[in-house]
Structure 1
């Protein structure tokens, strides 16, 4: 049975949430509407990358 793990939005930014499967593959990415209020694309990219890595780290290795 495949199971998904979700990393909720961080308390720091609250803008990004990611869900990964048991292989660590991203199956869902959620962006808060507030991402459209900033022009700092580097910070957004960093938040997405960090959230995906955090979600993948809680998925057990098979």
Structure 2
């Protein structure tokens, strides 16, 4: 899906969240990345093959 240079990381890459946002929907809490990953505001991910990555937000210090 990526058409710019340098190419974005693939959906299987550990740094997949570094891809460019191609469609942002902050009112709904998600964004579509250039590599086909749907990134949710809670840091959860939906990968193009349907796999789900649980939210991985860093713990908040009290």
What TM-score does the superposition give when structure 1 sets the normalisation length?
0.30
More helix by proportion, 1 or 2? 1
Q: Which has the higher contact order (CA 8 A, sep 6+)?
A: 1
